[in-house]
């Protein structure tokens, strides 16, 4: 006789965590806010209604002993834009069951002797309808802890619209059935994300300035606001140097400083970004949250 599945009753244990980690290096530097109006391929993981353009992008983040990799590409299809991508989180844990796996980024610092991983493979499509941009993405979400493995399907849906120089977007993420690993069952980290941005940078004197803000209701029911500015300077045509600064509300103990910052360089067809996403105060565990990203147009 098999034991009945054990469901997580505590909303704070909604997961997997990979569904809530930022996959855009620019977003990390901007207080976790996705740069609305740009990064059209990486929008697959944030606001599917903003999927646009043709290109490829990727990012790598480190937090303690964990590694988060994300990559995606997009291109035109049937009058709209199609995107596909993969987000992968690998880390160590001391958890004995999936219900005890970390549900906060700060909890990844300590690590452990058990190997765990989480992934999201997504395909999304966006198109304009009735003057608004509509988007949907279908995702395969998986998790592994020692010998336990499981996966489930989920959907993100969103809408976006430009109002003058500002573009706004609303997305509901991770609609789907709970994830099962053996006899354990955990709900997905259902989120509602409202974001807005300048849709690119605007000239202000010798600089170009852009902004992004976001308010997210995460899988634990916490309201997490964040936002930031980026300032670009181009002494040579198509050679652009960028500085970014932002702030985000940290959730949980040991959240550290709310400040985020980063830098970037844009050339003819390539952009390289760096971000520092906050100090978790555990320098002896390598807990500085660094992210490096690259995009090819």
CATH of the domain at 70: 2.40.160.60
- Does some domain include residue 243? yes
In a domain, 3, yes or no: no
Tens digits of per-residue pLDDT, 42-54?
Answer: 899 999 999 988 8
Query: Does 2 reside within a domain?
Result: no
Assigned domain for 146 exists: yes
User: Is 59 inside any structural domain?
Assistant: yes
Residue 1 lies in a domain: no
Q: Which long-range contacts (CB under 8 A, 24 or more apart) does 259-262 make?
A: 260/28, 260/29, 260/30, 260/31, 260/32, 260/226, 260/228, 261/29, 262/25, 262/26, 262/28, 262/29, 262/30, 262/291
Residue 164 lies in a domain: yes
Considering the domain boundaries, does residue 150 fall inside one?
A: yes
How do residues 221-258 score in pLDDT, each as one tens digit?
889 999 999 999 999 888 999 999 999 887 664 556 78
Its sign, for the CA torsion 165, 36, 212, 228, is negative
- CA dist 64 and 285 (Å) reads 6
Note down pLDDT in tens along the chain; length 297 residues: 334 444 444 444 567 889 888 888 888 899 989 988 667 788 999 999 999 888 888 888 877 778 899 999 999 999 999 999 999 999 999 888 888 888 777 777 777 889 999 999 999 999 999 889 999 999 999 999 988 999 999 999 999 999 988 999 999 999 999 999 888 888 898 999 999 999 788 899 899 999 999 999 988 788 999 999 999 999 988 899 999 999 988 766 455 678 889 999 999 888 899 998 665 444 444 455 778 888 887
Region of 178 please: left (phi>0), alpha (psi -120 to 50) or beta: beta
Domain residue limits at 284: 8-296
**Residue 257 neighbours by CB distance under 10 Å:** 14
Q: Count the domains in the chain.
A: 1
């Amino acid at each position: 006789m098999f034991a009945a599945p054990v469901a997580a009753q505590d909303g704070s244990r909604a997961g997997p965590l990979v569904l809530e980690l930022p996959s855009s290096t620019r977003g990390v530097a901007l207080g976790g806010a996705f740069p609305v109006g740009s990064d059209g391929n990486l929008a697959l993981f944030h606001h599917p209604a903003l999927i646009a353009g043709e290109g490829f992008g990727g990012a790598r983040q480190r937090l303690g002993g964990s590694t988060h990799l994300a990559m995606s590409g997009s291109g035109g299809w049937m009058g709209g834009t199609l995107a596909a991508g993969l987000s992968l989180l690998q880390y160590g844990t001391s958890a004995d069951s999936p219900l005890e796996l970390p549900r906060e980024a700060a909890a990844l610092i300590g690590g452990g002797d058990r190997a765990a991983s989480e992934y999201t493979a997504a395909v999304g499509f966006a198109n304009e309808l009735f003057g608004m941009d509509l988007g949907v993405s279908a995702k395969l979400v998986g998790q592994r802890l020692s010998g336990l493995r499981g996966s489930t399907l989920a959907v993100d849906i969103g809408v976006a619209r430009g109002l003058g120089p500002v573009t706004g977007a609303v997305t509901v993420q991770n609609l789907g059935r709970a994830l099962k690993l053996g006899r354990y069952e955990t709900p997905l980290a259902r989120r509602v994300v409202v974001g807005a941005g300048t849709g690119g940078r605007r000239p202000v004197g010798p600089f170009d300035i852009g902004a992004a803000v976001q308010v997210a209701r995460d899988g634990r029911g916490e309201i997490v606001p964040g936002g930031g500015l980026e300032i670009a300077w181009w002494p040579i045509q198509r050679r652009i140097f960028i500085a970014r600064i932002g702030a985000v509300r940290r959730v949980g103990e040991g959240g550290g400083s709310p400040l985020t910052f980063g830098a970037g360089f844009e050339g003819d067809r390539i952009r390289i970004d760096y971000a520092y996403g906050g100090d978790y105060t555990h320098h002896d565990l390598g807990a500085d949250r660094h992210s490096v990203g690259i995009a090819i147009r």
